[in-house]
């Protein structure tokens, strides 16, 4: 006798399963589960918008409420991907506007979206609630006006680090008088002023506002007004944090912060005047997130703040914090989970800033819950890395950037192979790693042997030969994203590991030693991959098989070659098309 639960019951059970991975597993149990699951999947995450087409997504999941898409390769953040590469949201928005009338949430990262698409979003989805545009571009404040005017139930508008064409500061006034649903607004990336009266009005009519991130242009004097209207805020991003010498501004600000009993996260702090810092000291004991990474204040001031924040879980800061500030962090903040230290000077160590590897060692020693590290510095040693690895085996994300490429261990002048080797050996749950400093093929041998849970790896100016790349591709079982620049890795390793590439989301290689001949072979052997060669300078000669390629981006896809490639991308298909 075959017994199976009725569909409605299964559907109800599945509704408790929210993670994508679990949902994917559920869907392959059997055909009927596949069918039931696909009808009740509400959230879709697509890590590479070219891996699948809108039509395929819509056909499989007809009742989706939330879509998240990522476009350009990660290295686009650092100017390595030329303009016009792609990542256009247009076709996605068009098709979803036709097929998902009940769509509520759209999250895009590193994509190009136009005002027309924003307007389409605002008019197509009656229940639209969440729009997150992270590191996106291609739109202006006109598009935002449409969103403001038409999305009656909007809860979240987050423009995190996007490039927005500032045509008018009045887009905020387009929110109608009846609009009361706003919970989160992040406009910190906007370059120019917004109408302050419109901002004030919006805050006043949003009783559920929990997150407000202002842009630099909002003066400090106005911040207290806003805070008084919104004492329920949980996350605040200030604008410029200075105001000349104005005791009235200071006292109003201080009083306003006193009223914010729910505040847990602070950010912003452009142009900080240290004398205004104490104004927010009253909220420090509750702070779990603090982003001072735009604040060029010095170590003593930073330390003073840190000593008041015992509940800090996440800290972003400039290297002005110095080793002394990091020592204070290690002593005061026992709940710290994530630390990001950014460089204040891009190229050369500022003689006035003493941030060394010691600061990081202290924090790994003193903060037992530390899991995620991003650290820019000028010197590192194997012994420090080994200490860090032994102190913090629970690290899941370790991104170290020693600013000068190929810097060796400053004590021994050796490569940093064994240091990073210790990291991957001890930190068994490491899922993200970025390497820097002088590194030979040996570090990749360690990584291939030990980094079994590694999901994303970034490599620059490292390695000696193809063996390095081969270790990574053959050893890192969980690897999904690999990005490499300026390494002597080439054809041999790539062609020896073609099957691996189909298990990964994407591979980026620029200024390496891959030839066009190898790209042709790869394309022929692996039809489920898109092999895209970027030839910005037009120097590529596809007929010469041993001609090296500038930049290569390889990704798996079920959607075939994409139709929106700019002229400077070479693919096998284009090549054959030209020959016909």
Partner 1 sequence: MELYLGLALSSSSSSASSCSSQFDLNCHESTIPVHRSKKRKHDDDYDHVPQTLPLLVWNNNFCCNKNQLNEEHQDHDNDGDDDDEVESNSISVRHRNIGGVIGWPPVKLCRRKVCHRKIGNGGGGDDGDGGGSKSMYVKVHMEGIGIARKVDLNMHQSYQTLVLTLANMFGKCYGDVKLTYQDKEGDWLLAGDVPWGSFIKTIQRLKLLKK
Residues lying near partner 1 in the complex (CB under 8 A) are found at 75, 77-80, 82-84, 135, 161, 165, 189, 270, 293-294, 296, 342-348, 352, 376, 401, 403-408, 410, 413, 415, 434, 438, 440, 458, 460-461, 464-465, 485-488, 490, 511-513, 537, 539, 541, 544, 546-548, 566-567
The alpha-helical segments, DSSP class H, found in 103-246 are 115-124, 141-150, 196-204, 220-229
Contacts 24+ apart (CB under 8 A), 545-549: 545/515, 545/516, 545/517, 545/520, 546/515, 546/516, 546/517, 547/515, 547/516, 547/517, 548/513, 548/514, 548/515, 548/516, 549/514, 549/515, 549/516, 549/519
Which residues, in sequence order, are CB contacts of 148 under 8 Å at separation 6+? Answer: 154, 171, 172, 173, 174, 175
Nearer to partner 1, 84 or 560 (CB): 84
d(CA 164, CA 162): 6
Nearer to partner 1, 46 or 547 (CB): 547
Write down the least CB distance from residue 486 to partner 1, Å: 5
Nearer to partner 1, 116 or 464 (CB): 464
d(CA 142, CA 135): 18
The DSSP symbol for 516 reads: H
For residues 353 and 378, the answer to whether their CB atoms sit within 8 Å is: no
Nearer to partner 1, 62 or 84 (CB): 84
Write down the least CB distance from residue 149 to partner 1, Å: 25
The DSSP symbol for 298 reads: -
Write down the least CB distance from residue 544 to partner 1, Å: 7
Write down the least CB distance from residue 320 to partner 1, Å: 10
Measured from the Cβ of residue 35, the count of other Cβ atoms closer than 10 Å reads 13
Write down the least CB distance from residue 348 to partner 1, Å: 6
Which residues in 490-519 are b (16+ Cβ under 10 Å) and which e?
Answer: bbebbeebeebbeebbbbbbbbbbbbbbbb
Write down the least CB distance from residue 97 to partner 1, Å: 27
Write down the least CB distance from residue 315 to partner 1, Å: 16
d(CA 340, CA 169): 32
Nearer to partner 1, 14 or 85 (CB): 85
Nearer to partner 1, 193 or 486 (CB): 486
d(CA 86, CA 113): 10
Write down the least CB distance from residue 478 to partner 1, Å: 23
Write down the least CB distance from residue 542 to partner 1, Å: 12
Nearer to partner 1, 173 or 506 (CB): 506
d(CA 313, CA 512): 39
**Which residues lie across from 70 on neighbouring strands?**
109
For residues 109 and 134, the answer to whether their CB atoms sit within 8 Å is: yes
d(CA 69, CA 49): 6
Nearer to partner 1, 121 or 522 (CB): 522
d(CA 314, CA 295): 16
Write down the least CB distance from residue 296 to partner 1, Å: 5
Nearer to partner 1, 109 or 450 (CB): 109
Nearer to partner 1, 66 or 515 (CB): 515
Nearer to partner 1, 346 or 580 (CB): 346
Closest CA to 57 of 45, 74, 71, 72: 45
Write down the least CB distance from residue 570 to partner 1, Å: 14
Length of the chain: 580
* Both tokens assigned to 47: 């890590």
Nearer to partner 1, 71 or 490 (CB): 490
d(CA 81, CA 110): 11
Write down the least CB distance from residue 574 to partner 1, Å: 17
d(CA 357, CA 70): 34
For residues 562 and 527, the answer to whether their CB atoms sit within 8 Å is: no
Nearer to partner 1, 75 or 125 (CB): 75
Q: What is the DSSP string of 146-159?
A: HHHHH-TT--EEE-
Write down the least CB distance from residue 525 to partner 1, Å: 23
């Amino acid at each position: 006798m075959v017994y199976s639960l009725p569909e409605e019951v299964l559907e109800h059970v599945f509704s408790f399963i929210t993670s994508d991975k679990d949902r994917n597993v559920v869907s392959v149990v059997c055909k009927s589960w596949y069918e039931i699951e696909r009808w009740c999947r509400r959230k879709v995450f697509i890590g590479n918008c070219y891996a699948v087409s809108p039509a395929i997504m819509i056909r499989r999941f007809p009742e989706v409420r939330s879509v998240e898409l990522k476009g350009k390769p990660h290295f686009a953040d650092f100017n390595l991907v030329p303009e016009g590469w792609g990542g256009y949201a247009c076709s996605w928005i068009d098709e979803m506007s036709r097929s998902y009338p009940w769509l509520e949430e759209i999250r895009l990262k590193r994509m190009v979206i136009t005002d027309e698409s924003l307007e389409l979003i605002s008019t197509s989805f009656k229940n639209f609630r969440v729009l997150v545009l992270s590191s996106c571009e291609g739109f202006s404040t006109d598009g935002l006006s449409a969103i403001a005017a038409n999305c009656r139930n909007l809860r979240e508008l987050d423009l995190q680090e996007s490039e927005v064409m500032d045509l008018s500061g009045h887009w905020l006034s387009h929110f109608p008088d009846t609009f009361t649903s706003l919970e989160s607004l992040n406009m910190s990336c906007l370059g120019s002023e917004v109408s302050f009266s419109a901002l004030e009005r919006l805050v006043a009519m949003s009783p559920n506002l929990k997150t407000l991130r202002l842009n630099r242009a909002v003066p400090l004097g106005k911040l207290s007004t806003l805070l008084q209207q919104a004492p329920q805020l949980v996350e605040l991003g200030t604008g410029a944090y200075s105001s000349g010498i104005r005791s009235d501004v200071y006292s109003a600000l201080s009083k306003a912060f006193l009223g914010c009993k729910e505040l847990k996260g602070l950010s912003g702090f452009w142009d900080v005047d240290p004398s205004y810092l104490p104004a927010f000291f009253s909220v420090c004991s509750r702070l779990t997130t603090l982003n001072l990474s735009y604040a060029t204040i010095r170590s003593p001031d930073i330390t003073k703040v840190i000593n008041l924040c015992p509940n800090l879980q996440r800290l972003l800061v400039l290297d002005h914090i110095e080793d002394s500030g990091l020592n204070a962090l290690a002593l005061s903040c026992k709940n710290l989970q994530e630390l990001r230290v950014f460089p204040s000077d891009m190229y050369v160590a500022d003689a006035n800033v003493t941030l060394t590897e010691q600061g990081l060692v202290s924090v790994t020693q003193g903060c037992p819950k530390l899991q995620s590290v991003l650290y820019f510095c000028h010197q590192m040693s194997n012994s420090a890395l080994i200490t860090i690895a032994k102190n913090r085996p629970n690290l899941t994300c370790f991104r170290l950037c020693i600013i000068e490429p190929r810097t060796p261990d400053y004590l021994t002048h050796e490569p940093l192979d064994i240091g990073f080797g210790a990291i991957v050996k001890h930190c068994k749950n490491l899922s993200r790693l970025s390497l820097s400093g002088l590194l030979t093929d040996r570090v990749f041998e360690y990584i291939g042997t030990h980094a079994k849970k590694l999901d994303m790896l970034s490599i620059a100016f490292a390695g000696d030969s193809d063996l390095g790349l081969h270790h990574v591709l053959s050893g890192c079982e969980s690897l999904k994203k690999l990005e490499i620049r300026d390494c002597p890795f080439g054809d041999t390793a790539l062609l020896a590991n073609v099957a691996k590439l189909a298990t990964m989301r994407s591979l980026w290689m620029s200024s390496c030693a891959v030839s066009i001949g190898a790209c042709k072979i790869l394309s022929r052997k692996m039809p489920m991959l898109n092999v895209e060669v970027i030839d910005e300078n037009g120097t590529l000669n596809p007929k010469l098989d041993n001609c090296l390629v500038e930049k290569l981006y390889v990704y798996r896809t079920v959607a075939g070659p994409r139709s929106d490639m700019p002229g400077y991308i070479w693919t096998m298909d284009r090549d054959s098309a030209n020959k016909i």
